[in-house]
Amino acid sequence: MGGEETRLAGQRMVGRTAIVTGAGRGLGRAIALGFGSEGAHVVLAARSIEELEAVAAEARSLGARALVVPTDVTSSASVDDLVGATLAEFGTIDVLVNNSGVYEDVPMIEMSDEQWDRVVSTNLRGTFLCSRAVGKHFMSRSRGRAINIASNLGLVGRPGFSAYCASKAAIINFTRAVALEWARFGGQMNAIAPGYFETDFNTALRADHAAATKVVDRIPAKRMGMPDELATLCTFLACEASDFINGETVVIDGGESIR
C-alpha cells in the first residue's frame, strides 16, 4: 500500500461532508480541522468571514476541501442559505455540528431582556434551526448525524450564567427528543458537554494565574482540556464506530461536574 493510500486508510470520514457552526475560532475551529484531518469536506459557518477564511486555509493545508458560508444561526433564511450552499458545492450533508454559542456573565435579576434573548436565541434557537434544515436532508437520505455542543453547565448551575445554563440544559433534552424522532429514519443526534478547554475564549482567564488556578483546582484532572481532545470525540460520534449511540450527552470536563 502506497503512502497516500496508507494515509487515507486511517481517515474515517473520507469524502463525507460536515457542517460546523461557530467554526471560526475556539472549539469550532478544532472540530472543523479534526474533520478535515480525517478526510471530510468541511463547511465552515459563523458570522465572521475573516476568521472562517483563516480556518479554511488551515483545513486546505491538511488536504481537505473547505467551504466558507457566513451564517447567522438565529435566522432561518440564513440557515437555509447555508444548507443550500453546502448541497450546491458537495451534493450532500453527512454531519452537522451545532457549535455556535454565546454567554452573558450577569446575575439573573440584573439581566436585560436583550441579554437573555441573545444567549437563548444563539444557543438554542440556532441549534433548532440548523437541525431542522439539515434534518430534512438527513430524512431524505435515511441517514445523517448531528452533534450538539452543549456544556457541563447544562448539568450544574453557576451564578451569573442562568441564561447559558438554561440554554445548554435545553439542548441536552432537545438532543434526546430529536434522537427518538430521527431514529425512525436512520438519523442520529448526540451531544457533547465540555467543561473548560484552552481556547481563545479564555486567554485572559488563563493569563491571570490566580483566576486560572481557582478554575483548575475544582477540576479533578487538575488541568483544562485541549481542543483536539474534543475534536477527537466529535469525530468518533460522526463515524460508524458510534452507530449504537443515540440521544446521549457525553461529558468531557475532567470530572468537574461530578464532584
Sequence-distant (6+) residues with CB within 8 A of 12 are 38, 39, 235, 239, 240, 241
φ, ψ of residue 69 to 5 degrees: the values are -135, 95
How do beta strands 66-70 and 17-21 pair? unpaired
152-190 in b/e form (b: 16+ CB < 10 A) is: bbbbbeeeebbbbbbbbbbbbebbeebbeebeeeebbbb
Q: How far is CA 103 from CA 40, 163, 194, 195, 245, in A?
A: 30, 7, 14, 14, 29
At residue 211, the 3 state secondary structure works out as: helix
Angle between helical axes of 162-183 and 113-120 (0-180°, round to 10): 30
Annotation marks residue 196 as catalytic: no
Residue of 128, 164, 174, 182 marked catalytic: 164
- List active site positions: 164
